[in-house]
Structure formats: structure tokens, C-alpha cells
Structure 1
Amino acid sequence: MSYIIYAIPFFFLLIALELLAEYVRKTDYYRTNDAINSLTAGVLSRMFGILKALVPFTLYVMLYENYALFSLGDNIWLGLVAFVLYDFCYYWNHRFGHEMSILWAAHVVHHSSEEYNLTTALRQTSGSFLSWIFYLPLAFLGVDPLLLLSVGSLNLIYQFWVHTRHIGRLGWLEWVFVTPSNHRAHHAQNQIYIDRNYGGVFIIWDRLFGSFQDELDEEPPIYGIRKALHSWNPIYANTHVYQQLIKDSWRTKAWSDKFKVWFGKTGWRPADMERDYPLGRVDLTRFEKFDIPLSTLRKVYGLIQHGLTTFIGLVFLLNITQLVVTQQILVIAWIVYASVSVGEILSVKRLGWWLEIVKYFFVLAVAITHPLPIWLSMTILAFALTSALMWPRLRKEHAHHANPEENEENIAITS
């Protein structure tokens, strides 16, 4: 079984504790817009995970039932062996996710934050379609499908806590386990840290296969990606590298390059693409984080909207077996829509204003026309009324920004 959904309350508890540490230590590791963007990506990842997991898992079960070389059973020691084997597979999945373009296109969203905190851990991809291949060897080794789900979820849960800057080096643990220190190095875009420290739970794989890099005091990590995202749109965050690969593959002249664009080393582009369509890169010598100044009202509104999206997502996951496929798809579509809407709100775009109105019109229509539990209807109504009370002042902010140069940079990067 998967333990992810049961861990979610503890994730938010730890985020709250990290925010308390932020306040006490007077650090600036959090920004509202970046944190909401990370959390939104996490919600979308859970939603799309439902749609894309069925076929790979069915294939795994088929291989396990027909071609398993061993019968490992289900005692605790074999569970620990499966846990270690899973992390070994994860290492190679993660490594290829950085070193092959088509896999990086899926994984890049996790690295796109220019902050590093516990919300970054939840900034997971929605577009990974090939990573499951790396775990198929476990079917041949006799790892039960349900055990695979269990150790996979535990592996992911472990990785949550290492996404913090409030914990320093941890002595001998640095030699065996993935820690906040060596994972901070993994998330850095400094040249010395690029493509290092791929382990999920155990750092020993990196030490064995030559991909380890210690965090250096003289080289503070600069977080983010070289081709900076410059957007709060979660769909763009999940698709921007795919978009670039499609363009390069279509435009380049050589047929071999059309293939190599996808399966070549990450960052490689055909010579004609580099010449005719050069890409801007981050200058780390004068690095500035992408930010759009927000009023306190807009920050609070964004948090409320993310709260609604997360709430509906959790209710959906807990009751998914009671919904038919059409209902599941509609709920997922609404969550995607709501995620884009809050991104536009954080970008101070007028489009966000209209998206919000349509969003709540649809929510209230469903609440009125469908027999929902009273607690669910009242919760949705509370979100709607609270949001509506904030709309007049938000509308004034949009009117203030309504000019020919309205967020020109943001319009350019999402076009």
C-alpha cells in the first residue's frame, strides 16, 4: 500500500515548524508565491499520478506473476531488502532524469524553485511517463507489487525532510544517508554541484558510482535551473522543457538530430538550433531570484485558494473509489484549472480575476446540483464567501496594473 496520503498532514506540520524556525531565526527561505507554486505542483502530481499509474503498474504485476525469478515472501527482512533495492533503482532513475533530455523534461519541475525549503520537496512532476521502467527489474527479482508501492512511498516520504536549510551537517550520517546538506548540493545550479548526489535515501550509491559532491562552505548553493522558469504557472513549469524539445526536434535539419534532441545528454542542442534559436541562460555572477511584488491581500488570497484546491484534492483522493471515471476526470480537470488560476493571480494578471470567477461559479453549481455531505457543502461555501469578500480590493489591484505594459515580462515568458 502507499503511505503518501497518510503522511500529508505530517508534511504540513513540518512545514509549519519550519516556518516557526524561519520566524525565530529571522531567515528568508520562504516566499509566498514560490511556496504556493511548489505546493500546487505537488497537488497536480498526485492528481496526474492517478491517471498515469494504471498501465505501468498493470505491466509490473504481469511481469511479477509470470516471470519472477524468486519468491521473496513478505517478512520484515525481505521488506528491508526491497527497500534498499528500490533505492538503488531510484538512484539510476534519478541520475538518468538529470542526464537524458526527455527524462529531464519531466524532472525539471522539481528543481525549478529558486528557494529551498520543505515546500520544495512537494514540487513534484506531473509529466513523468518513463520513470517506471527503472523499477521493472524488481518484478523479476520477486518484489510483490504491493510491497513495491509500500517501499516506494516510504522512499518518497524520507526525501521530504532533507529539503531544508535549517539543518546542518550530520556527522557520520553524511557517509551513508541522503541528508539536508548533500541534498542541498544536489539542488544547486553552481557548476561544481551540477548532476551530483542522486540518492533518495542512501548516499552510498553516489559514493560508489562517482556522482557525490559535498556541500562546500566556500560555495553556497544557488538554487534553481540554468534556464530560469520565470513563471508561477504550474502547467508551464511541467511542460516548458517538453515545449523546447518539440521545437528543436521540429526545426533542426538533420534527421539524426531530431532523435538525439530527445535522448541525448541534457542541455545538448543541434548546432543549427544553437545558432538560429539561442537560449538565454542564468548568469550566476549576478543572479537575482524571479519575483513579482505582491500585496498582503494577494498573498492571503493565494493561500486561501491553494487551501481550497488542496482540500478538494484530499477529499477526492479519500473518496476516489466511490466515483466513476467521468467524475474522477472532471475533478482532476477542475484541480488543474484552479492551479492555473492561482498562478495567474500570483502573476497579478487580469486573466486570473476572470478565472477565479468561473472557478467559483462551477464549484457552487456542483454544490447546489449534487447531494454533497453538509460538512463539505459548508466548507466550500466558507471558502467562496471569504474569497468573494476579497474580490473588490483585488479588482482594484488589477485595475491599477491595467496598462499597456501590464507585467510585460510575465506575458512574454508564458507566450
Structure 2
Amino acid sequence: MNLILLAVPFFFLLIAAELLADRWRGVSSYRLADSLNSLSAGVLSQASGLLSKAIVVLGYAFAYEHLHLFELSDELWVWVLAFVLYDLCYYWSHRVGHERNLFWASHVVHHQSEEYNLTTALRQTSTGFLLSWIFYLPMAVLGIPPVVFVTVAALNLLYQFWVHTRHVPKLGWYEWFFVTPSNHRVHHAQNPVYMDRNYGGVFIVWDRLFGSFQEELDEEPVVFGVTVPLQSWNPLWANVQFYVQLWQDAVRAGSWWDKLRIWFMPTGWRPADVAARYPMAKQDLSRFRKFEVPLARRHKLYAALQFSGYVLGVSGLLAVAEQQALVVLLGAWLWVAFGLYCIGAWLENRPFARWLELLRLASNPLALLWAQQVGLLTSGATGWLLLAAWSLASLVWLFWPMPRTPQVI
């Protein structure tokens, strides 16, 4: 049972509720392009997870099979112990993800949004599987069964969804023991006083124990985002931006030692010769401006409607993924990644975006035909009629002669 898949409708219901709360309180914590970028990163992460899950789950199962010290059953106390231990392991994985260059390159995706709302919670990395699994091996050695590990991991992630909101104030005594919206807002800040604090997933006690806790201060309003902004709506670039920066710095470094150690140095460390020749200015928060690309309202709505197709497609894929061969999952990932790249280019108002859209729309019939041939979808005329109607409507919207007056939404 895929708990994340079951939760998807509730995610979107709560996002709708938060939008209503925005309107009721007369505030704005959403921008359509930013939210689509966050959701695109989440969809891409779920699609990538279909390819990478084997590395994490099978790796954990292998470690459990050969290294476990105790034979733990699936009794209630084991589940409770696993839930607490998972969050402790998550704390250290999360902390290292902020404090070392290579790990930050993966985790930075989650922090790139300059807004803070429930779509930010879904903004997840597609490369975390490469190294994060290392931090959970102690659970396998202790003897936590794989099915328990997978379930508590999903529960931990589900808990973290609700704390990504600006509408919930401090919660009194609850703040001392659990991660809350207030102490997690601190975690997403780029203010110097808040940076690299509050790493817990469910329990904030780890931060209090290990000296990484910081309370949200009334006199220091949170500025969300990262000190070196993404400045893009492209979810693929979001996942590789910092890797590219590290690679460029490594290539430019004069010392072979610097070329090697840059990957494992504290986050933000750069070789002295590279930093001197290629300085990177940090933002002045007193003059901070959120990234925005002028684009007409109707064009942003077009992107949102096109994106909905990928939400449905990946949700359907998650439901049947266990029965699919690796080549099928890889083909589905390519379809998703290409489509999300095109939507990102459209939101950035790239000169080639309209023609890229034609290519994307043309790829959908091929994707449908392929999905039917490999058994992802049943053959029949209904799917083709729906796709034809959708494509025709998209083309009319795409080329309808209306001025592209920039409007912010």
C-alpha cells in the first residue's frame, strides 16, 4: 500500500483550504509559477523514486538480511521504536544535507522556493536516493524489518506536510517536543540568525539535544529561500544547479586537493583561487526581491492545466508501478521529465517555449500508444478521443490571437 499515493487527494484539498485561508485573511502566500515549480519538483521526485526505490529498499533489505543483530517482530513497541529511530536518523541525514556541499546539492531543491506554503512541502529532491540511505542503515543493523522501515518513512514524510504553512502560529507546549509550522519556518529561512537550524522531521527534541534549535523571533521576520537563488522555474535545473556549480568550481580549482575535497567541505566552501576569480555575491535581504517572470494570466493558467496531466499520469503510474519492468518506468520518467521541462520553459517565457510546446503535445500520442502497448493502459478509443480533445483545446489556447500582456498572478 502506497501511503503517499493515498494522501495525494488530501494534499490538494489542504492546499485549496490554505488558498481560502489566504483570501479570508487578506494575505498572499502563493504565486502560481512558484507553486507549479514546487509541485513539478514533487512530481519529478515521485517519478524518479520509481527508478531509485530499489536502491534504497533493496539496499536496506540486504543490510537487514546480513547485518541485523536482533530478531524484532512487528509488535506495536517495535513500530513505535522504529518511528522514533527513523526520525533520529532523519535528523542526522537532514543536518548533513545542510552542512556538506555534496549533500546540500541534493537537498537544496526543497529550499529554493521563495514562498512558504503547502506546495513547498511537496518540493522534493530527485537525487536524494544517492546518499541518504546510508543514514538509515543503523535501523537495519538493529533489526527493524524492511516493511516497518518503509511504513514509518512514509508516515514521517506525511507528518512534515502540514508544517509548511504560515497560517499556524506558535503552539505552546507542543513546540518543545514536536516540529511545528513555527519552528519549521525557521528552517526554511535565509536570515543569518535562522540558517541551518531545526532539522527534525517529527520531533524537535533532537535539535534541542544537539544544539541546532532556533526559535522563531517576532523581531526577525523570516525571509524564505536560499542565499544563492535558483532564479528558474525549471525542475530539472533545480535538481542539478548546485551539482553544476560544484563541478565548475572543481574544474576551475588549481589544486588537485581542492578539486577532490570541495565535494565534502562545509556547504558554501569554495577554493580560494576560484572564489577570487569567480566571486558569488550573496543577497542583501534588506533589498530582497522574489524571482518573477512577467507572463500573462492566461498563459500561467495554461501551464497549470497542462501540469495537471502529469499529476494524473504519475499518480496512475504509482498505482501500477510494482508490476512494471524497469524499461517501462524509465520511459515514463522520460515523458514526465520532458513535459515538466517544457512547462518550466513556458513559465520562464523562453523564446522557443511555444514551439517546444508543440513538440510536447506531439509526444503525447506517442506516449499513449507506448503505454497501451506495454500494458500501462488498456487499449480502446476512449483514451484517444480524450487525448484528441485535450490536444485540440491546447492548440486553440496556445495560438489564439490575444496580446501577451504581462500580469502577475
TM surpasses 0.5? yes
CA pair 394-72 structure 1, distance change in 2 beyond 3 A = farther
Q: Write the deviation string for residues 186-213 of structure 1: whole angstroms up to 9, x where unpaired.
A: 0000000000000000000000000000
Counterpart check, 1:380 vs 2:387: yes
- What residue number does 1:41 align with? 41
Residue deviations 1:327-354 (CA, integer Å, cap 9, x gap): 2211110100000000011011132212
Query: Larger deviation: 215-224 or 281-290?
Result: 281-290
Are the aligned partners of 1:228 and 1:281 in contact in 2 as well (CA < 8 Å)?
no
Tell me, in whole angstroms, the C-alpha distance in 1 between the residues paired with 2:196 and 2:77: 33
Classify 1:36/1:394 alpha carbon distance in 2 versus 1 (closer, same or farther; 3 Å).
farther
Distance (whole Å) between structure 1 residues aligned to residue 113 and residue 379 of structure 2: 37
> Does 1:164 pair with 2:161?
no
Number of matched residues? Answer: 399
- Report the CA distance between 1:41 and its aligned residue: 0.1
Query: Is the 8 Å Cα contact of residues 186 and 197 (structure 1) preserved in structure 2?
Result: yes
User: Secondary structure, in 3 states, of the residue corresponding to 2:193?
Assistant: helix
CA distance 1:192–1:374, change in 2 (3 Å)? farther
**Residue identity in the other structure for 1:334:** W
C-alpha contact 1:94 1:198 (8 A) present in aligned 2: yes
Q: Which amino acid aligns with 1:390?
A: W
Give 1:396 deviation, angstroms. 5.8
Alignment pair present for 1:213 and 2:214: yes
Aligned mates of 1:65, 1:365 — CA distance in 2: 42
Residues 188-197 or 250-259, more deviating: 250-259
Could you tell me how far 1:376 is from its partner in structure 2? 4.3
For the residue of structure 2 that corresponds to 1:350, the secondary structure is: coil
State the Cα distance separating 1:43 from its structure 2 match. Answer: 0.3
Alignment of 1:140-159 (within 5 A): 140-159=141-160
The answer to whether 1:288 aligns with 2:295 is: no
Going from structure 1 to structure 2, the CA distance change for 1:368 and 1:72 (only over 3 Å counts) comes to closer
**Cα contact 2:57–2:150 (8 A) shared by 1:** no
Aligned pair in 2 of structure 1 residues 274, 327: CA closer, same or farther (>3 Å)?
A: same
Q: CA deviation at 1:110?
A: 0.4
The one-letter code of the counterpart of 2:244 is Q
| Identity across the alignment (%) | 48
For the residues of structure 2 that align with 1:142 and 1:160, how far apart are their CA atoms?
28
8 Å contact from structure 1 (residues 298, 394) kept in 2: no
Q: Partners of 1:374 and 1:11 in 2: how far apart? A: 32
Matched AA of 1:247: Q
Distance across 1 between alignment mates of 2:165 and 2:84: 24
AA aligned to 1:234 is P
Q: Which residue of the partner structure matches residue 173 of structure 1?
A: 174
Q: Is the 8 A contact 2:100 2:264 kept in 1?
A: yes
Q: Distance in 1 between matches of 2:286 and 2:382?
A: 53
Distance (Å, rounded) in 1 between the aligned partners of 2:162 and 2:253: 43
Kindly provide the amino acid, as one letter, of the partner of residue 314 in structure 1.
S
Query: Is the 1:63–1:139 contact (alpha carbons within 8 Å) kept by the matching residues of 2?
Result: yes
Structure 1 distance, partners of 2:27, 2:349, is: 26
CA distance in 1, matches of 2:134, 2:127: 15
Instruction: Tell me: CA distance 1:267–1:366, structure 2 relative to 1, closer, same or farther (3 Å).
Output: closer
8 Å CA contact 2:335–2:367 kept in 1: the answer is no
Give, in whole Å, the separation in 1 of the partners of 2:106 and 2:322: 28
Distance 1:396 1:357, change over 3 A: farther
Structure 2 distance, partners of 1:175, 1:283, is: 32
In the alignment, what sits opposite 1:110?
110
Partners of 1:346 and 1:214 in 2: CA distance:
36
Whole-Å Cα distance in 1 between the matches of residues 82 and 296 of structure 2?
49
Aligned residue in 1 for 2:375: none
RMSD: 1.7
Letter aligned with residue 17 of structure 2: L
> In the alignment, residue 105 of structure 1 is paired with which amino acid?
A
C-alpha displacement at 1:325, in angstroms? 2.5
Q: In structure 1, how many angstroms separate the alpha carbons of the residues matched to 2:109 and 2:401?
A: 29
- Structure-2 residue corresponding to 1:364: 365
8 Å contact from structure 1 (residues 29, 115) kept in 2: yes
Query: What letter is aligned with 1:7?
Result: A
**TM-score (structure 2 length as normaliser):** 0.94
Q: Which residue of 1 aligns with 2:303?
A: 302
User: What corresponds to 1:226 in structure 2?
Assistant: 227
Counterpart-to-counterpart distance in 2, 1:114 and 1:181: 17
Aligned to 2:314: 313
Q: What is the alpha-carbon distance in structure 2 between the residues aligned to residue 69 and residue 368 of structure 1?
A: 50
